[in-house]
Amino acid sequence: MIKGLGTDIIEVNRIAEKIANDSGFKELVFSENEIEYCEKQKYKSEHYAARFAAKEAFFKALGTGWASGTHFNEIEIQRDAAGKPFLNFLGETKKTFAALQQQKISVSLSHTKTLATAVVIIED
């Protein structure tokens, strides 16, 4: 049964500007693994933006907004061997999410040169 559904869309240039001004935004929002992945991509801003959208969509799916005990850089978008994205939780966020006893999370990412979007479904 679906417990939560979240979606988000963001303009790629908004994320590109935040990353370019080197204010620590990248480290605040993205995990080390995400930064390493995105920096290797030809159009890195699109990949950063899609991951940002997934994190926003996740909080919407939870129904809580940005929940206490969670951090953006502890919600990590990884890819399995086939390239399918999935959410991985780190640190405090991993403990917070485990306490909610959710069983399955599906995530889908998409981006163009100008827009990035993500959908997250939480099931029990």
CB 71 within 8 A of CB 93: yes
Q: Pick from 70, 88, 89, 72: which is nearest to 24 by CA?
A: 72
Is 111 one of the annotated active-site residues of the chain? yes
Q: Catalytic: which of 42, 44, 111, 113?
A: 111
Is 71 one of the annotated active-site residues of the chain? no
Q: Catalytic: which of 42, 60, 95, 113?
A: 60
Output the CA angle 110-113-119, nearest 5 degrees.
20
Active site residues: 60, 111
